[in-house]
Amino acid sequence: MATYHLNSPFSEEDIRMLRIGDIVTFDGRLFGIRDLTQIYMFDQGHEPPVSLAGMPCIHTAPSLQRVKDKWEKVCVGTTTSTRMDRFTPGLIGQYGVRAIIGKGGLYQGSLDAMQKYGAVYLAIVGGSAALETQQIEEVEDVYWDFLHPEALYQFRVKNFGPLTVAMDSHGGNLYADVLAEAESRLPSIYEKLGIV
């Protein structure tokens, strides 16, 4: 396990050096996306109004307030990723996203896209919205604001994390490893409990 501090946008080389279990923090730009954002993009055919190439995207529906012509953060938390899995190969392959940040992981098709194009899934600890919000220095822009709180958000972050590399560009999957380890222990647990 290694620790890395990166700057976004990420290069393919940045991402290919990461392995499951590594810890990442980063500075730079971060995009917030959620279900409706991606439905609007992929199902309804709207191209993003800003380049996502090399960028990290976080699964979020943030609480923001508009003050005059500026959006200000109130609370920016992270949501579960699996229900947005179907969009991930497109984000990675079509738009060049290098990292997805969320909770709970993604499925095999997303992992395949990570291997092919050079991307990772970075897991964040649930319940860390207060910390995440502090690490966001500014809401730089809100695209498709009529979708708020599921618009496309552009944040500037500092020391964002720590994030755990849970799925990597080499086919590593921390979720699958943990499941396999748990299943391997079941027979001895059943034996100790007297369950046949």
Which pLDDT tens digits describe the chain residue by residue (196 residues)?
A: 899 999 999 999 999 999 999 999 999 999 999 999 999 999 999 999 999 999 999 999 999 999 999 999 999 999 999 999 999 999 999 999 999 999 999 999 999 999 999 999 999 988 889 999 999 999 999 999 999 999 999 999 999 999 999 999 999 999 988 888 888 888 888 888 988 7
Predicted TM-score of the model (pTM): 0.93
The 10 Å CB-count burial string (b at 16+, else e) for 21-54 is: ebbbbbbbbbbbbbebbbebbeeeeeebeeebeb
Within 10 angstroms of residue 75's Cβ, the number of other Cβ atoms is: 12
Q: How far is CA 25 from CA 124, 135, 138, in A?
A: 11, 10, 17
φ, ψ for residue 48, nearest 5 deg: -60, 140
Residue 190's pLDDT is: 87
Bridge partners for 71 per DSSP:
66
Q: Which domains does the chain have, with CATH numbers?
A: 3-193 (3.20.130.10)
Distance, CA of 37 to chain centre: 14
Which strand (E) or helix (H) includes residue 179? helix 174-193
